[in-house]
A and B are shown apart, each in its own frame.
Chain A
Amino acid sequence: MIKIATRTAYGQTLAKLGEENPNIVVLDADLSKSTKTADFAKKFPERFFNAGIAEANLMGMAAGLAASGKVPFASTFAVFATGRAFEQVRNSIAYPKLNVKVAATHAGITVGEDGGSHQSVEDVSLMRSLPNLTVIVPADAVETEKAVRAAAEHQGPVYIRLGRLDLPVILPEDYEFKLGKAVALREGWDAAVFANGIMLALALEAAEALAREGIEVAVVNVSTVKPLDTATVAEVARQAGAVVTAEEHSIIGGLGSAIAEALVENCPVPMERVGLKDTFGESGSPWELMEKYGLTVGGIVDAVRRVYQRKAQG
């Protein structure tokens, strides 16, 4: 099976978009080989701006370019895009609702060996808290291409969360991506798993495993974390009556929190969140870390069993 990182799909899509839309400009902060904006830089050097190691200025320049009619994609690692430059994203991009696409790579613990200082486990939480900002967490290369294209067409600021690791493609080429739409990939009446990013593939595997024990689990891809597709989320949760969320992110403020907020107001059901339990990451190989922090098929299966039990107990 071919494996491709979402950052790689981002770079390839950006290079294609450059041809289709002359207003697209790309900015990076000395990480263009890692974020893959180098693909665009090679083809359109005059529309590529390297800010150097200066993320605050990166976001500020992107804001100015957007205010002057360009469609800027600004890239660096997620920890720097949303951490170092948080307040620039807030006050220069989200607040004036400028048309900047912050495409951040190396999100989550699958950054691996670089360690906790480089593993962003809070970026979705930070970005989701900003008014006007759309937040997307694609699951694989297919969805990344569609999400990046949708972001380019969307008028307004967008945050796209991308990963470092090569991953199998799980969605079909004709997968229908729509900004703000959660998509049920699997039906099931016993419980539902809402997942995104790298965790979607694991959620689908968990559902397979549970089906073999006779537990039918719905799996929903919630790649747009904001605006959340509350209607779909509530409807699936109502039918399933028990919910698990799965994200490569802190359980505080990310997808798990977003789903919890929606359900507590619309249809409270037994729920658990699979994700990082209020901890920073550390150095290690990506899949060893996923195992260590419980971001596994088994972790999802166990969580589903527990919420299913709670539901049965009424």
Chain B
Amino acid sequence: MNQTKLEELASRALSMRRMIIEMLAASKSGHPGGSLSAVEIVATLYFAAMQVDPANPHQPDRDRFVLSKGHAAPVLYSALAEKGFFPREELLTLRKTGSHLQGHPDMKKTPGVDMSTGSLGQGISAAVGMALAGKLDKKDYRVYALLGDGECEEGMVWEAAMAASHYKLDNLTTFLDYNGLQIDGPVQEVMNPTPLDQKFQAFGWEVIQIDGHNFQEIWDALEKARGTKGKPTMIIARTVKGKGVSFMENQAGWHGNAPNAEQAAQALAELGGGK
């Protein structure tokens, strides 16, 4: 990835982080921690990897993205707004009565959302279905999904993992946002899902481990996934929950609480780059 692209992605990511804080402050509820940990992943997908057209969100040959950890809707909405699927101002209607921006992604309401999610474990199965359809139709679109590490405690994730390798879905690439936290605390203390790399390997996946905040590593992993034949790829991305906002970083308490006006101002000041 060249320097110009890296710089563009960094600026997109900054803009997305600011939007996440702004929309959560406006809605006064929602999930900052797991939105901020996935910014670089989602930015790289929408601004480097995926073929999507904001003017034609249902275009049948497009790449698909399923936010299996649906509570991180703000990171998806920030990318969709930044990409031009809908006006940026609409972000401030997040979670309000009548808004097309629901608390969890809703494919019937929001342009650019490929699958309704929010019940953990279900998104990855839908992504498997989309990848199967791609194979059936002999299309070369790719399907991407994003899982949480806590989400991997759901049995359904492993049912989907089994099916994806059974059907040799090399058109499916999944990220695992390995931020180490769920709601009740560290994943290893609440219900240890590790070792995730060995588990997905044993389920027949190509597994790549990267720093989930490093664009070059994300990009290289995506390239490797594209070249992998006969099996799906799991990119285990080490991340920091709440990344970019000092007081939110690595705090389970910032999983599902929105910042108040003062906290939002502090977060935005730390992030910088405001216009």
Task: List chain A positions with a Cβ less than 8 A from chain B.
Answer: 28, 30-34, 50-54, 56-57, 79-80, 83-84, 112-118, 282-285, 288-289, 292
CB-nearest residue of chain A relative to B105? Answer: A117
- Alpha-carbon distance A314/B272, docked complex (angstroms): 72
CB-nearest residue of chain A relative to B122? Answer: A84
CB-nearest residue of chain B relative to A287? Answer: B97
Q: Is residue B201 within 8 Å, beta carbon to beta carbon, of the partner chain?
A: no
Most buried by B among A31, A50, A83, A288: A50
CB-nearest residue of chain A relative to B97? Answer: A284
With known contacts A53-B121, A115-B102, A118-B118, A31–B97 Cβ distance under 8 A:
no
Contact with A along B145-182 (1 / 0, CB 8 A): 00000110111000000000000000000000000001
Q: Is residue B266 within 8 Å, beta carbon to beta carbon, of the partner chain?
A: no
Residue pair B116, A117 in contact (C-beta under 8 Å): yes
Residue pair B120, A285 in contact (C-beta under 8 Å): no
Contact with A along B66-105 (1 / 0, CB 8 A): 0000100000000000000000000000011111011110
Q: Knowing that A33-B183, A289-B97 are A-B contacts, what are 17 other residue pairs whose CB atoms are under 8 Å apart, sorted by A's residue number?
A: A31-B183, A34-B183, A52-B150, A52-B191, A52-B193, A53-B121, A54-B153, A113-B27, A114-B29, A114-B104, A117-B103, A117-B119, A118-B103, A282-B97, A282-B102, A284-B95, A284-B98
* Leading 6 A-B pairs by shortest Cβ distance: A52-B191, A284-B97, A117-B118, A115-B103, A52-B153, A113-B95
Q: Which residues of B contact A289 (CB under 8 A)?
A: 97
Q: Which residues of B contact A32 (CB under 8 A)?
A: 184
Residue pair A283, B183 in contact (C-beta under 8 Å): no
Q: Which residues of B contact A283 (CB under 8 A)?
A: 95-97, 99, 101-103
Q: Which residues of B contact A50 (CB under 8 A)?
A: 184, 190-191
Q: Is residue B40 within 8 Å, beta carbon to beta carbon, of the partner chain?
A: no
Task: List chain B positions with a Cβ less than 8 A from chain A.
Answer: 27-30, 70, 95-99, 101-104, 106, 116-121, 150-151, 153-155, 182-184, 187, 190-191, 193
Q: 22 A–B contact pairs at CB < 8 A? A: A30-B153, A30-B182, A30-B183, A30-B184, A33-B183, A33-B184, A52-B190, A53-B121, A53-B150, A53-B151, A53-B154, A54-B155, A56-B155, A83-B119, A112-B29, A113-B27, A113-B30, A115-B95, A115-B104, A117-B106, A282-B97, A284-B97
Of B28, B101, B182, which is within 8 A of A53 by CB? B182
Q: Which residues of B contact A285 (CB under 8 A)?
A: 96-97
Q: Which residues of A contact B103 (CB under 8 A)?
A: 113-115, 117-118, 283
Q: Which residues of B contact A292 (CB under 8 A)?
A: 97
Of B30, B119, B151, which is within 8 A of A80 by CB? B119
CB-nearest residue of chain A relative to B96? Answer: A284
Residue pair A115, B190 in contact (C-beta under 8 Å): no
- Alpha-carbon distance A57/B28, docked complex (angstroms): 33
Q: What is the minimal beta-carbon distance from A283 to any residue of chain B, in angstroms?
A: 5
Of A28, A53, A57, A114, which is within 8 A of B120 by CB? A53
Residue pair B119, A84 in contact (C-beta under 8 Å): yes
- Alpha-carbon distance A44/B117, docked complex (angstroms): 35
- Alpha-carbon distance A275/B106, docked complex (angstroms): 23
Q: Which residues of B contact A282 (CB under 8 A)?
A: 97, 102
